[in-house]
């Protein structure tokens, strides 16, 4: 470790308990103190730079210290940093809501704010349950979810997700959900198309809805990409079928676009690729350009109306978080949306995504790569022990961690999910930076799979 980082590392390890981390790992790989960021790059206290190929956990869209977002936050800071959103309001939250409603699938006209993704999922789950109660169907109280899905870490969000590693220990604390096999196209048989596989997998969902619609409040999905589940992808046809089936069975559809929203999959929202409108859409992460914690649940007029009544009926949605709709976060979000409009970001991303995909697919022939898959600005490389059978490496070998460690040495922040090496860069990344991240991933793969 470089000497300028060392004092901070020592102080950090004395008191900071890091997220999603076995802290003992830091004996070998100490946390890296970051002094500043600029564009797609982070810089530590020793002056070493790291290309942020994972957008700082999938949040950053337009680079670190983006001048336009900085200016918007700075201007807001001089006006109002925070105000209670119950009984009071402010222009940034009003304008942001107007802009989101204009961008979202038609009919999502109401925005309920929280301050992180998991809380948005909690809101959607509670609202769906509560809606059915308000309209006289209190028996509809269960949730249908996909295998390998991820919706956050708070207890309700954890319950409706399905990543064993995060969930198993807490199972005694979690509500019981109905889990349906995912349309994940990595699992498709040879010769079957993505659409064919996703369509066939829908049979499981259809039968779950037939069996459980009377007791089901909602189906919750991550549209098109199960990110935390290893960037597993599926075809939009699944969402079209799901929308129609949810309507037929009177079950809500919750689209968790927390990771895939804001252009990640090539369209502004992933749902657009299926031409559907969910009943609830959860947004966070890229919502503020990755600047500040903020989330929102967008929903429809009929759902809003089911809560709109005399106070004494006691059917209002009495949920809140202290920092709900924070003005600084809303100002960052509006500045980020302005960049999309002014710079034609989705258009520009098409060229970047094409380059990223083409470079990453050069790894398809590698003897320990089972698949290279892409949806827009998300590209994933599935590293396996045996290419033919797709047998994975034993998880305890932590091959992905070896890729991570190598990439850091080479000045690139890659953070594989298990053995899935992926790229989810900020949209300000250049073709040359894409080349660097793919080259370094290749080296990391070679090293991680040679023994
Ligand atoms: C990150 C994520 C969440 C949780 O958001 P947090 O802000 O980390 O609580 C929920 N759903 C999806 C799909 C995510 O990727």
Q: What is the pTM of this model?
A: 0.98
| Per-position DSSP letters for 124-171, written without gaps between them | HHHHHHHHHHHTT-TT--EEEEETT----SSHHHHHT---HHHHGGGG
Joined tokens for residue 46:
């020793």
Q: Quote the mean pLDDT of the chain.
A: 97
Residue 3 confidence class, pLDDT cut points 50, 70, 90? confident
Pair 212, 250: CB distance under 8 Å = no
Whichever domain contains 337, its CATH number is 3.40.640.10
Specify whether the CB–CB gap between 95 and 337 falls below 8 A.
no
Helix ranges, 40-116 (H)? 55-58, 67-79, 91-103
| Final residue belonging to a domain, choices 320, 342, 364 | 342
Contact 5, 44 (CB under 8 A): yes
Cα–ligand 1 centroid distance for 88 (angstroms): 28
Say if residue 140 is in the same domain as residue 86.
yes
Q: CA triplet 12, 15, 19: central angle to 5 degrees?
A: 80
Tell which atom from ligand 1 comes closest to the C-alpha of 154.
9
For residue 295, which atom of ligand 1 is closest to its CA? 7
Is-contact 334 287, C-beta < 8 A?
no
Atom of ligand 1 nearest to the CA of 222: 13
Q: Are residues 135 and 250 in the same domain?
A: yes
Position 45 confidence tier, pLDDT thresholds 50, 70, 90: very high
User: Per-residue pLDDT averaged across 193-217, rounded?
Assistant: 98
* 137 and 38 in a common domain: no
Query: What residue spans of 260-326 are helical by DSSP H?
Result: 301-305
Task: Kindly state whether residue 153 falls inside one of the protein's structural domains.
Answer: yes
- Closest atom of ligand 1 to 259 CA is 15
pLDDT of residue 194: 98
pLDDT at 125: 98
Reading the block at residue 225, the tokens are 């990409």
- d(CA 216, ligand 1 centre) in Å: 23
Residue 318 has pLDDT above 80, yes or no: yes
Residues lining ligand 1, Cβ inside 6 A: 116-118, 121, 150-152, 222, 227-228, 256, 258-259, 284-285
Residue 24 lies in a domain: no
**Mean pLDDT value across residues 72-97:** 98
In this predicted structure, the answer to whether residue 1 has a pLDDT above a threshold of 80 is no
270 and 410 together in one domain? no
Cα 349 to the center of its chain, rounded Å: 18
**Distance from the alpha carbon of residue 256 to the mean position of ligand 1, in angstroms:** 8
Neighbours of 79 (CB within 10 A): 12
Residue 76 has pLDDT above 60, yes or no: yes
Q: Whose CA is nearest to atom 6 of ligand 1?
A: 117
In a domain, residue 22? The reply is no
The confidence score (pLDDT) of residue 451 equals 77
Instruction: Report if residue 80 sits inside a domain.
Output: yes
Quote the tokens at residue 275. 């031409």
Q: Let me know if residue 12 belongs to a domain.
A: no
Tell me, in angstroms, the distance from the centre of ligand 1 to residue 349's CA.
23
Asked if residue 265 belongs to a domain, the reply is: yes
Rg of the chain (C-alpha set): 22
- Reference 20, options 166, 226, 155; nearest CA is 166
Buried-exposed string 410-446: b where 16+ CB fall within 10 A, e elsewhere: bebbbbbbbbbbbbbbbbbbeeebbebbbebbbbbbe
User: Cβ neighbours of residue 296 under 8 Å, at least 6 residues apart?
Assistant: 100, 111, 112, 113, 114, 120, 282, 283, 284, 287
DSSP characters over 351-397:
HHHHHHHHHHHGGGGSTTEEEEEEETTEEEEEE-SBTTTTBPPPGGG
Q: Name the band, by pLDDT with cuts 50, 70 and 90, for residue 403.
A: very high
Could you tell me how many helices (H) and strands (E) the chain has, helices first? 14, 16
The angle subtended at Cα 305 by Cα 154 and Cα 130, nearest 5°, is: 35
Spatial separation of the C-alpha atoms in residues 373 and 52, rounded to whole Å: 20
User: Does 188 share its domain with 211?
Assistant: yes
Cα(363) to centroid of ligand 1, in Å? 29
- Residues 320-359 pLDDT 10s: 999 999 999 999 999 999 999 999 999 999 999 999 999 9
How many separate domains does the chain show?
2
From 228, 238, 296, 234, select the one nearest 262 (Cα to Cα): 296
Q: What is the pLDDT of residues 283-300, one digit of tens each?
A: 999 999 999 999 999 999
- Return the ligand 1 atom nearest residue 121 CA: 10
Q: What is the CATH number of the domain that holds 48?
A: 3.90.1150.10
- Which ligand 1 atom lies nearest to the CA of residue 153? 9
Q: How many C-beta atoms lie closer than 10 Å to residue 114's C-beta?
A: 25
In terms of Cα–Cα distance, which of 360, 356, 377 is closest to 369?
Answer: 360
pLDDT at 2: 64
Distance separating alpha carbons of residues 60 and 287, to the nearest angstrom: 9
Which of 342, 369, 404 is the last residue in one of the domains?
A: 342
The tokens describing 152, both together, are 């956050």
Closest residue to atom 3 of ligand 1, CA basis: 152
Indicate the top mutation candidate among 57, 151, 264, 290 to test ligand 1's pocket, ranked by most ligand atoms within 8 A of CB.
151
Closest to 297 in 3D by CA, of 48, 34, 36, 118: 118
Same domain for 304 and 211: yes
Is residue 197 located within the same domain as residue 108?
Answer: yes
**Pocket of ligand 1, candidates 114, 150, 290: which has the most ligand atoms within 8 Å of its Cβ, to mutate?**
150
Domain with 376 in it: 32-65+345-449
Helix (H) or strand (E) holding 404: helix 399-409
Domain shared by 240 and 376, yes or no = no
Is 244:199 a contact under the CB 8 Å cutoff?
Answer: no
Task: Report percent pLDDT > 70 for the chain.
Answer: 100
How confident is the model over 113-150, as pLDDT tens digits? 999 999 999 999 999 999 999 999 999 999 999 999 99
Out of 342, 362, 379, a domain closes at 342
Ligand 1 centroid – CA 259 distance (Å): 7
| CA–CA dist 105, 98 (Å, integer) | 13
3-state secondary structure of 430: coil
| 305 and 389 co-located in one domain | no
Measured from the CA of 152, which atom of ligand 1 is nearest?
A: 4
């Amino acid at each position: 470790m470089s000497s300028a980082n060392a004092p901070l590392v020592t102080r950090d390890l004395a008191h900071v308990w890091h997220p999603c981390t076995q802290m003992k790992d830091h004996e070998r790989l100490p946390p890296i103190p970051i002094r500043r960021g600029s564009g797609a790059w982070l810089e530590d206290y020793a002056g070493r730079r790291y290309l942020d190929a994972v957008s700082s956990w999938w949040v950053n869209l337009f680079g670190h210290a983006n001048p336009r977002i900085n200016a918007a936050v700075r201007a807001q800071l001089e006006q109002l940093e925070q105000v209670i959103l119950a009984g009071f309001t402010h222009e940034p939250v009003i304008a942001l809501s107007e802009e989101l409603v204009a961008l979202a699938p038609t009919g999502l006209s109401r925005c309920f704010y929280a301050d992180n993704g998991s809380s948005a999922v909690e809101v959607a789950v509670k609202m769906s349950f509560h809606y059915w109660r308000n309209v006289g169907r209190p028996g509809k109280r269960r949730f249908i979810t996909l295998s390998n899905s991820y919706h956050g870490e708070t207890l309700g969000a954890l319950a409706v997700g399905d990543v064993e590693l995060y969930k198993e220990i807490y199972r005694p604390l979690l509500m019981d959900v109905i889990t349906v096999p995912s349309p994940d196209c990595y699992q498709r048989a040879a010769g079957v198309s993505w659409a064919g596989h996703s369509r066939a997998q829908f049979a499981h969902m259809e039968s779950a809805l037939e069996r459980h619609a009377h007791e089901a409040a909602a189906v919750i999905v991550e549209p098109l990409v199960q990110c935390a589940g290893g960037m597993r992808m599926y075809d939009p046809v699944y969402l079209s079928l799901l929308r129609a089936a949810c309507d037929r069975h009177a079950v809500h559809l919750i689209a968790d676009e927390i990771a895939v929203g804001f252009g990640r999959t090539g369209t502004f929202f992933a749902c657009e690729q299926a031409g559907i409108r969910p009943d609830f859409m959860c947004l966070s992460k890229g919502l503020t350009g990755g600047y500040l914690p903020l989330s929102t649940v967008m929903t429809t007029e009929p759902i809003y109306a089911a809560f709109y009544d005399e106070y004494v009926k006691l059917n209002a949605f009495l949920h809140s978080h202290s920092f709900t709709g924070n003005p600084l976060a809303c100002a960052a979000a509006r500045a980020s949306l302005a960049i999309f409009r002014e710079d034609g970001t989705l258009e520009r991303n098409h060229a970047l995504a094409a380059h990223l995909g083409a470079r990453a697919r050069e790894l398809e022939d590698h003897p320990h790569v089972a698949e290279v898959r892409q949806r827009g600005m998300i590209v994933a490389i599935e590293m396996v022990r045996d290419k033919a059978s797709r047998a994975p490496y034993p998880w305890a070998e932590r091959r992905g961690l070896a890729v991570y460690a190598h990439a850091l040495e080479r000045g690139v922040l890659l953070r594989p999910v298990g053995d899935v090496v992926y790229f989810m860069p900020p949209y300000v990344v250049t073709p040359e930076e894409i080349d660097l991240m793919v080259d370094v991933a290749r080296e990391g793969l070679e090293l991680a799979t040679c023994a």
